[in-house]
Amino acid sequence: MPWKEVSTMSLRQECVLLADVEVSNMSPWCHRFGISRKTGYKWLSRYRKSGSPGLEDQPRRPHDSPSRTEEAIESEVLKVRGHHPSWGGRKIRARLVTLGHPQVPSASTITQILRRQGCLDPVASAKHTPWQRFEHEAPNRLWQMDFKGHFPIETGQRCPPLTILDDHSRFSPCLKACADEQGDTVQDAMTAVFRRDGLPDRMTMDHGAPWGSDQDHPYTPLTVWLIHLGIKVGHSRPYHPQTQGKDERFHRTLKLELLTRHSFRDLHHCQTAFDRWRDIYNLERPHEALSMATPASRYRPSHRAFPERLPPIEYSPGDIVRKVQGQGDLSYRGKVILLSKAFHGYQVALRPTLNEGRFDVYFCQQKIREIDLNETIR
């Protein structure tokens, strides 16, 4: 019978000692110990060369293993993962290529390295599934804006981060540590962004302060200011967060890669960390929806410069122009038309439609309401 597991070394030693005396007649000894002549000669040769230690099992790993990732590359993979603990195989591979490493393994090999090193949570990995989204064809065609849910800081305050994301490139023009969610706070932050990156064509935002209280009251001083700048303003559909899907995904990434890993002393400390992470997100972090390119590689500043003074409001000669009164209303043909207090003091234009008695109401370039003079209007 072949070697017995409980006494492999002793059986090997007994076999070679006996065979060494009578090596010319190896067959009986191999038969007695249940091994082949080839195995018998192998162990005898090792014994003569190294003594008893030569009878121990040798490593089965080949001297040269082309399929095994070199230790230096594996070290680089773990180094990138250490800097970015939420990145997977595809992002790490893209980053290594960008850094100029000459031999970069495939994304699947990097994933195997992470799994072998215990860096991947199987439950969390199973949740990641591909998601197809519509995107605008060029930068600055649409920006998404929202507040990330606030979090506590050591001063006792709560910080609601203001975030803006370009729909086409996923570039983040703004990640601001705010003390509150007031319109003036947002306007100050956006003014700095507009001065640096220019104006987008459109912006979408959620319902609620300071964007608009609900679907029936979507205008606030902040959104009126944006429209006056020539930016078309839209709101997400109620109970449909996917309308702001890219910015919502940005919030998840911000939370995973930064907010859950750090505590913050004050707002200044928050902003310092935000600026550092925003640079990584825009300039270094490969984005799967961009074929592993970085957002900055697909973004360009807008050619529409921010005007330091609001431009005059002009309407076409055929428009019926009325000034909005203190309660957000105006009068026309004996009818009181209620718009929004946010338009108080501004002029709006009524444009007749093809239907008798029906008008579209415009503020600057944006249609803000439809009215029918045949009905009671408020």
The pLDDT value recorded for residue 4 is 46
* Residues contacting 121, CB < 8 A, separation 6+: none
Give the mean model confidence (pLDDT) for residues 153-157.
Answer: 94
Q: What is the pLDDT of residues 312-325, one digit of tens each?
A: 999 999 999 999 99
Q: Which residue has the tokens 């444009």?
A: 351
pLDDT digits (tens, 9 = 90+) for 352-378: 998 898 999 999 999 999 999 887 655
| pLDDT of amino acid 118 | 72
pLDDT band for 202, please (50, 70, 90 cuts). very high
Q: In whole angstroms, give the CA distance from residue 51 to residue 353.
A: 104
214-236: pLDDT as tens digits: 666 789 999 999 999 999 999 87
> How many beta carbons lie within 10 A of that of residue 78, not counting itself?
15
pLDDT greater at residue 32 or residue 48: 48
CATH code of the region 71-123: 1.10.10
Q: What is the mean pLDDT of the chain?
A: 83
Percent of the chain at pLDDT > 90 equals: 51
- Decide whether 71-123 matches 143-298 in CATH topology: no
Q: d(Cα 9, Cα 5) in Å, to the nearest integer?
A: 9
Check whether 252 has a pLDDT greater than 70.
yes
Phi, psi (degrees; rounded to nearest 5) at 6:
-75, -15
Give the pTM.
Answer: 0.68
pLDDT category of residue 23 using cuts at 50, 70 and 90: low
Predicted confidence at residue 288, as pLDDT, reads 86
What pLDDT digit, counting tens, does each position of 42-52 carry? 877 877 777 66
Peptide bond into 312 cis (omega under 30): no
Residue 305, SS3 per DSSP? coil
Cα–Cα distance for residue pair 179/160, rounded to 1 Å: 7
> Confidence class of residue 238 from pLDDT cuts 50, 70 and 90?
low
Residue 119 burial (CB count, 10 A) = 16
Q: State which CATH number among 3.30.420.10, 3.40.50.10890, 3.10.20.600, 1.10.630.10 fits the domain covering 143-298.
A: 3.30.420.10
- For the chain, the domains span 5-55, 71-123, 143-298, 320-372
Q: What is the pLDDT of residue 61?
A: 59
Say yes or no to pLDDT of 24 above 60. Answer: no
